[in-house]
Chains A and B, each alone.
Chain A
Amino acid sequence: MESCREITKKLASDELREASLWKRLTVRFHLLMCCHCRRYAAQLRTIGETARHLWGPHSEDSSTLERLKREILGTTLGDHEGGNIDSK
């Protein structure tokens, strides 16, 4: 049987993402039996969710993006429709 150290290593290093069903099941089974590893796994999930919350799509500020878009397209592509920043 795999130790907790091995299980946490698999969880943290994303080894399971592309692992076989059997491997994933053995980890699942371990988590069922072990409250410490279960807590560890849940905390890693929370960390991922928090990162998505901080920097995910809905965190975008549309005015900053608009400005960036104008600057990028305006200066390099001579895009008049997008607004020419020189004329401001």
Chain B
Amino acid sequence: MSMDDPQLAERIRASDPEALRTVVETYLGQIHRSALGAGLGPERAREVTQATFATFLEKAPSFEGRSHVRTWLFGILYHKIKEARRGLRQEHQMDEIDEVVEGRFDAKGSWVRPPQAVDLQLYASEIREFFEDCLEKVPTQQRMAFVLREVDELSSKEICKILNISITNLGVLMYRVRNRLRECLEAKGVER
């Protein structure tokens, strides 16, 4: 059965075991990897993945099929991750990364502190650590936007639905998280 089958929503609503099983099998890996990408450790990523599918199976009868089942699953995942990463700061109007990036340009918008060359190949073995360190305290929304875009390669429209934000918001999140990673990697690379 295809995930674009027009009858899929109906079969999910009817809790058709075959349909539910196919959904689980199709998206389990993606959901699990996204939980890891969102910064949960192996243990918590497993828990959150389980909880996401438990909610999916429980709520299946109320699935309206107005959005794709994948969008729905990722929406559930996002809520679970927010709970799991509770205590982290929320996304704000202001973010210190904005000033850092701003400080790289002069009043006319030309580079005063241009990007430095960083050879990531040199740090291949530590790259996971770099990423984790840099993203550790990033607000969940930013981190999720990054994972959904870069790893899951979803469309802007779908990401906005999952995170319940506007396209302008998404642009701001991507701008912040990418610049943050770039600044981190540059700092680490130049340090040595």
Interface, chain A (partner B; CB < 8 A): 3-6, 8-9, 12-15, 17-18, 36-37, 39-40, 43-44, 46-48, 50-57, 59-60, 64-65, 68-69, 71-73, 76-77, 79
Contact = CB atoms under 8 A, between A and B. Distances in A.
B182 A68 contact: no
Contact of B24 (A9, A13, A17, A72): A72
Contacts of B30: 57
A36 B111 contact: yes
Given A14-B170, A60-B32, A47 B147 contact: no
Given A47-B181, A54-B127, A64 B33 contact: no
5 contacts: A3-B108, A5-B105, A13-B175, A51-B131, A79-B17
B161 interface: no
A15 B172 CA distance: 10
Interface in B8-53: 17, 20-21, 24-25, 28-30, 32-34, 36-37, 42, 46, 49-50, 53
Contacts of B33: 55-57, 59-60
B54 A72 contact: yes
A66 to B, nearest CB: 10
Given A52-B151, A59-B33, A73-B24, A14 B174 contact: yes
A44 B172 CA distance: 15
Interface in B149-168: 149-151, 156
A13 B128 contact: no
Contacts of A36: 111, 114-115
Contacts of A48: 150
A14 B29 contact: no
Contacts of A52: 150-151
A14 B111 contact: no
Given A36-B114, A69-B25, 6 more contacts: A4-B105, A14-B174, A15-B171, A46-B120, A60-B33, A72-B50
Given A4-B111, A64-B32, A17 B156 contact: yes
B71 interface: no
B158 to A, nearest CB: 13
Contact of A14 (B49, B57, B156): B156
Contacts of B170: 14
A50 B127 contact: yes
B127 to A, nearest CB: 6
B32 A77 contact: no
A18 B156 contact: yes
Contacts of A68: 28, 32, 46, 49-50
A71 B115 CA distance: 47
